[in-house]
Amino acid sequence: MDDPVARLRAAGCVLAEEEARLIADAAGDDAGVHESLLRRRLAGEPLEVVLGWAQFAGLRIPAAAGVFVPRRRTELVARLAAALSPPGGTVVDLCSGTGAIAAAVAHARPDLEVTAAEIDPAAVALASRTLAPFGASCMVSDMDGALGHLAGRVDAVTACPPYVPTAQIPLMPREARDHEPRLALDGGPDGTALQREVLAASSRLLRAGGVVILETSEALAPLTLAAAAHAGFAAGIERDEDLGAVVVVARRA
């Protein structure tokens, strides 16, 4: 069996035709490269890692082994940040990974000053590549570290931090479990440990009236909302049913 579609289908790829087309495009005319990309996909590597990019808000975001691949649902965070930030405002993307949210915001709103921060240097290397064309930047930092100079000056904080409860990680799809770092997935015992860190950092970073736009899940949303209220924010939920996205938007008093 050497038909790529049949091989991908036999390996369990649901969108086999689409994947075969993208792999063929990535390989160009080189049959050796084509076979090698196909074998990597058949062996279970995420499609985006095999291609070297992920689609996000109409942009191609670099993807690489060992780094979290941005999910389409996270586009809602970027869309809300672009809609809620004032002209010429300042946006900080925490836990930025490869910079997908920051890139989408900077692309949609070139008037904003966008800064990203991420703890994993491998992700920051990709994010820096992603963000440079948009005049935005990414630094290696946890949620405090290098951001002190922005305290009290930020109009919007965006974040898709890890939010999978620790006990649920073994239940995740294999592509995530086997190919994405635990640091990018593990949200602590109830899933909100990093969300709480984002809220605490946002309290320091945001000006009065600024917003934090924080991805969560349907199951976790009540806990995320409670955490936002506990941190002193007035919070509500936004959803995009098509993307399967749930986001808490919390405003600082």
Ligand X SMILES: C[S@@+](CC[C@H](N)C(=O)[O-])C[C@H]1O[C@@H](n2cnc3c(N)ncnc32)[C@H](O)[C@@H]1O
Give the binding site for ligand X (CB under 6 A).
68, 70, 74, 95-98, 100-101, 118-120, 123, 142-143, 160-162, 183-184, 194
CA atoms within 13 A on the CB side of 246: 11
Least gap, CB of 64 to ligand X (angstroms): 12
Q: Which lies closer to ligand X via its Cβ, residue 83 or residue 183?
A: 183
Q: Which lies closer to ligand X via its Cβ, residue 124 or residue 235?
A: 124
Query: How far apart, in whole angstroms, are the C-alpha atoms of residue 67 and residue 57?
Result: 19
How far CA 108 is from CA of 62, 75, 80, 232, in Å, comes to 18, 12, 11, 30
How far CA 212 is from CA of 103, 192, 196, 245, in Å, comes to 17, 15, 12, 16
Least gap, CB of 93 to ligand X (angstroms): 7
Q: Which lies closer to ligand X via its Cβ, residue 92 or residue 112?
A: 92
119-126: list long-range contacts, CB under 8 Å, 24+ apart: 119/95, 119/183, 120/67, 120/181, 120/183, 120/184, 122/64, 122/66, 122/67, 123/67, 123/68, 123/96, 123/97, 123/98, 124/96, 126/62, 126/63, 126/64, 126/67, 126/98, 126/99
Q: Which lies closer to ligand X via its Cβ, residue 74 or residue 192?
A: 74
Least gap, CB of 10 to ligand X (angstroms): 30
Q: Which lies closer to ligand X via its Cβ, residue 160 or residue 228?
A: 160
Least gap, CB of 35 to ligand X (angstroms): 30
Q: Which lies closer to ligand X via its Cβ, residue 84 or residue 176?
A: 176
Answer yes or no: are the C-beta atoms of 26 and 52 closer than 8 Å: yes
Query: How far apart, in whole angstroms, are the C-alpha atoms of residue 29 and residue 33?
Result: 9
Q: Which residue is nearest to ligand X (CB)?
A: 97
Least gap, CB of 129 to ligand X (angstroms): 14
**Phi, psi of 195, rounded to the nearest 5 degrees:** -60, -40
Least gap, CB of 92 to ligand X (angstroms): 11
Q: Which lies closer to ligand X via its Cβ, residue 15 or residue 183?
A: 183
Least gap, CB of 216 to ligand X (angstroms): 11
Question: How many other C-beta atoms can be found within 10 angstroms of the C-beta atom of residue 230?
Answer: 10
